[in-house]
Chain A
């Protein structure tokens, strides 16, 4: 455990079991006539690191994107965080302002970083807190500089994303997501677009976050990360959760044939 905390994370493991940080109830999503999520239920206690694995097209990214309404879940679903809904009872009818307010409590990191290329690393991290008036410009600048320092990029603050490596960009993206002091972090295949030698720096930052007690939902192909850092692994197939357990249970002793065949392929690929 690091002595300085990267974020002011209000969740403590002690509260983990009385109230879930995130609860998905019967989450459904279709694109046209293709159903991507068949009513997913999921409870994530505060401080838990959940790795979501599965073949492409299994619905894991869509699940993640439904949590912060980048994809609007279809009717009949509800997403809760710390006791409060993210969307309303009808997810299609959420005002953009309400959505904005709830979204800042959820940080998201993307496969392709999606940094703002017209801003420096520091400006990228400062942008959301400035927009939400989280303090004076100087305070926000110091906070952002601190975050970049924690992800190992103190000397790259004034660089534009175009001048940074993929791994550095992804660490800036993590710092940018943390700048709003989220209660929950979503990671959508954040190392898939990186050269192998750059993956470790990013995973190291995520490991550190996990140690600090951040609640994390991690869609990943990094089985080693899922095993070492995750508290829990979820295997998804055909838009549903097929297996859910500790990393040892799901990765070492899968109960379902589908999980076994997926893991067999995933391990061979490494």
Chain B
């Protein structure tokens, strides 16, 4: 038989370390880029032209660059500029910068779905801008944002594997290390695949839960 589960069992501590790193990296990215992307999305629909332009420039520049190039920049480029960070931090910064740009576009579509009349009603009532944002705009955009947000989260779970290329010992890196060590690929890649599948499924379950809660009555 080709598949030997004992290999996984023996490598479990090392593999679980990878799982933990992947989960931490993912949570840190989403924790950072969720508020940042919301701010960028709000800037993109702002009445202030300077804010709109700055946000659009950020999104368009970042979207135009390959993720790996940005990660190599934060990993190799920053130290040569005198900024020394751990591989984990380098990967976190790079992935956050990129995910924020994409997520901002996802969230913007939700903000744009709120009818003009809501803006006019808030204006006519003299609601201050931030009150309007938190009480009217965002609550109404949430049901529309929900799907794209979790899709982006799923993409991000998988994108963490790229951190293996900049020396972060996450799931893919730890699995590949075992592949190199044992010359057996199927077992470790299957393990990694199952863990990614579990994580992304968790996101899908979370999505349907959240969607129910944010749907307007």
Contacts and interface: CB of A to CB of B under 8 A. Distances in A.
Interface of A: 68, 70, 96, 99-101, 103-104, 106-108, 110, 112-119, 127-128, 131-132, 160, 162-163, 176-177, 180
Contacts of B185: none
A110 B128 CA distance: 20
Interface residues of B, number: 19
Contact of B126 (A113, A117, A163, A180): A180
Interface stretch (B4-12, B20-28, B115-123, B167-175): B115-123
Nearest to B121: A114
Closest 6 pairs between A and B when the two form their complex, measured CB to CB: A114-B121, A114-B117, A100-B126, A128-B125, A108-B124, A160-B217
A140 to B, nearest CB: 13
A115 B216 contact: no
B140 interface: yes
Interface of B: 115, 117-118, 120-121, 123-129, 131, 135-136, 139-140, 216-217
Contacts of B217: 117-118, 160, 162-163
Contact of A118 (B125, B128, B131, B136): B136
Interface class of chain B by DSSP: helix
B127 A127 contact: yes
B117 A112 contact: yes
B216 A117 contact: yes
Contacts of B121: 110, 114-116
A162 B127 CA distance: 22
B124 A70 contact: yes
Contacts of A115: 121
A219 to B, nearest CB: 14
Given A114-B115, A117-B216, A128-B126, 12 more contacts: A68-B123, A68-B124, A100-B128, A103-B124, A103-B125, A110-B124, A114-B121, A116-B121, A118-B217, A128-B125, A177-B124, A180-B125
A246 to B, nearest CB: 29
29 contacts: A68-B123, A70-B120, A96-B129, A99-B126, A101-B126, A103-B123, A103-B126, A104-B125, A104-B126, A108-B124, A110-B121, A114-B115, A114-B120, A116-B121, A116-B135, A116-B140, A118-B136, A118-B140, A118-B216, A119-B135, A127-B125, A128-B127, A131-B126, A132-B126, A160-B217, A163-B217, A177-B124, A180-B125, A180-B126
Contact of A176 (B125, B140, B216): B125
Nearest to A115: B121
